[in-house]
Structure 1
């Protein structure tokens, strides 16, 4: 990246901080702008990796919790039959109510 009018404005209130960044950029063989942007990208990528690792761990814990109690997620045949019977009775009750 060139230091043209479209370049990022690099203002540092601390001259020592600016000097340290300038020296690091020079040692890396890049402009200060490239050095700062690269550092920002590295930091954002590290944050993203930590977030994704935490999300994966959360998903793993959730999966373990659901696997621990399969009966609560999948109703038994008896429970399904009782629900179907209740729906039939409700339907019949509603039909009688509309007929009246």
Structure 2
């Protein structure tokens, strides 16, 4: 019976298998460990490229939103009036509860 945890290392190309076996031997690891390590390295490289692109996109988007204030953004006067109204409402609410 075979070990269910073992990786199936069948290669259709004997030259490819020999190249991987030689590289694994040079690294001093099993073929399975060498293949898993290579797969992990490749996957993390893809992830890093994605994250770099995402950061660049976020930076461009942030710059655009900073450069063009929205028509729905409150002016300083509107913000002050809103804070004053909120403070007044809180005072009225406390007075009724007492």
Question: Structure 1 length as normaliser, TM-score?
Answer: 0.69
* Cα displacement (A) at 1:71: 4.2
CA distance in 1, matches of 2:38, 2:17: 15
Task: Provide the secondary structure at the position in 1 that maps to 2:11.
Answer: coil
More RCO (CA 8 Å, sep 6+): 1
CA distance in 2, matches of 1:65, 1:15: 54
Question: 2:51 aligned with 1:62, yes or no?
Answer: no
Task: Provide the secondary structure at the position in 2 that maps to 1:70.
Answer: coil
- Shift of the 27–72 alpha-carbon distance from structure 1 to 2, 3 Å rule, reads same
* Cα displacement (A) at 1:75: 4.2
Task: Provide the secondary structure at the position in 1 that maps to 2:71.
Answer: helix
Question: Runs of 5+ in structure 2 lacking a partner?
Answer: 79-98
State the aligned residue count. 76
* Cα displacement (A) at 1:72: 3.0
1:48 aligned residue: 47
- Provide, for residues 6-57 of structure 1, a one-character-per-residue CA deviation record: whole Å limited to 9, x for no partner: 2100010000000000000000000000000000000000000000000000
- Shift of the 40–75 alpha-carbon distance from structure 1 to 2, 3 Å rule, reads same
